């Protein structure tokens, strides 16, 4: 009954999501586009030049905590962030079906927009000694806009935002501010590690939000995800989680970051719960 109630709460919350909730973010993107047009920055060189000083400033400030930043920025990778919510595969299949649909939109938007804009990464433009690079030095000449990590982050936190939205107004405000702050901190870590310009992150975050809203609206009208908790599919889930655990262990062997251990523990706990439920039935 508890599982059903949680899934019903998510379904009810998603049903309150409307297309009009896209308007503020679309308006923000229009403001950015008009500003860039006014500043003659709707081209690669102009785009980079208009935010160069802001990039250096934010990179300098954020990179003062390199260890924390390098851990936090990993959450922009779906392989690392999504394990935190794998327990909801059982408790709220609607959450996961919506998350997967939204993630597909996010991936399609990311690939198509990167191929459209072809903006070079900061490390492909600026002297590497002029700013801080944490982790890999990304020198691609065509993949900066938008930030894929920011898209992934805002797909996930937007689904969280609407799935577990409280009923009381004051709680809604707190929940919104908490989720938004967490998402922006993760997204802007990409500037701190020297991987993206500020507007790569802002635009990527907006695109992630839009992808999540699309995913919610589609899942409100199509019955997806119910099969995720059917007992006959549990062996497939178990196999997928084992592969996922192997991938995280590989990341730990490569980088040994604390955040990977959180993902690993979450996956192991979810795997144990799924196996227990399968054997019990």
Q: Using the structure block, give the residue that is written with the tokens 């009009």.
A: 20
d(C-alpha 86, C-alpha 238), whole Å: 11
Tell me the H-state helices in 120-197. 122-125, 148-163, 169-192
Looking at residue 1, its pLDDT comes to 47
State residue 126's pLDDT score: 97
Residue-wise pLDDT for 112-150, tens only, equals: 999 999 999 999 999 999 999 999 999 998 999 999 999
Look up residue 243 and give its two tokens. 């592969």
pLDDT tens-place string over residues 51-104? 999 999 999 999 999 999 999 999 999 999 999 999 998 888 899 999 999 999
Decide if pLDDT at 260 tops 90. yes
Q: Are 107 and 113 in contact (CB under 8 A)?
A: no
Percentage with pLDDT > 90 across the chain = 85
Three-state SS at 14:
helix
Q: How many Cβ atoms are within 10 Å of 47's Cβ, its own excluded?
A: 20
Predicted confidence (pLDDT) per residue in 178-225, tens digit = 999 999 999 999 999 999 999 999 999 999 999 999 999 999 887 655
Rounded Cα–Cα distance for residues 24 and 65 (Å): 32
DSSP assigned state of 19: G
Asked whether 19 and 217 are in contact (CB, 8 A), the reply is yes
Q: For residues 182 and 180, give the distance between their C-alpha atoms in angstroms, rounded to a whole number.
A: 5
Q: Model confidence at 228, in pLDDT bands (50, 70, 90)?
A: low
Contact 97, 225 (CB under 8 A): yes
- pLDDT, position 239: 94
State pLDDT tens for residues 7-57: 899 999 999 999 999 999 999 999 999 999 999 999 999 999 999 999 999
Residue 5's pLDDT is what? 85
Tens digit of each residue's pLDDT (9 = 90 or more) over 152-165: 999 999 999 999 99
How many angstroms separate the CA atoms of 17 and 11, rounded?
10
């Amino acid at each position: 009954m508890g599982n059903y109630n949680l899934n019903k709460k998510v379904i009810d919350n998603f049903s309150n999501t409307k297309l009009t909730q896209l308007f503020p973010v679309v308006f923000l993107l229009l403001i950015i586009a008009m500003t860039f047009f006014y500043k003659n920055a709707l081209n690669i060189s102009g785009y980079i030049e208009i935010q160069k000083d802001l990039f250096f400033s934010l990179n300098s400030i954020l990179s003062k905590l390199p260890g924390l930043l390098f851990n936090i920025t990993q959450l922009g990778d779906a392989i690392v962030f999504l394990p935190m919510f794998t327990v909801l595969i059982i408790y709220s299949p609607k959450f996961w079906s919506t998350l997967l649909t939204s993630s597909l939109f996010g991936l399609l938007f990311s690939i198509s927009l990167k191929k459209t804009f072809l903006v070079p990464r900061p490390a492909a433009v600026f002297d590497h000694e002029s700013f801080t690079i944490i982790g890999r030095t990304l020198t691609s000449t065509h993949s900066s806009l938008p930030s894929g990590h920011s898209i992934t982050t805002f797909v996930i936190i937007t689904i969280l935002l609407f799935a577990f939205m409280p009923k009381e107004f004051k709680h809604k405000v707190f929940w919104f501010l908490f989720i938004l702050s967490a998402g922006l901190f993760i997204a802007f870590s990409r500037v701190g590690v020297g991987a993206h310009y500020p507007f790569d992150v802002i635009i990527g975050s907006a695109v992630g939000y839009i992808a999540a809203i699309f995913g919610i609206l589609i899942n409100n009208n199509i019955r997806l995800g119910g099969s995720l908790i059917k007992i006959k599919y549990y062996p497939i889930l178990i196999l997928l989680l084992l592969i996922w655990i192997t991938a995280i262990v590989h990341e730990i062997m490569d980088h040994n970051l604390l955040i990977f251990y959180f993902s690993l523990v979450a996956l192991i706990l979810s795997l144990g719960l799924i196996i227990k439920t399968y054997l019990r039935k």
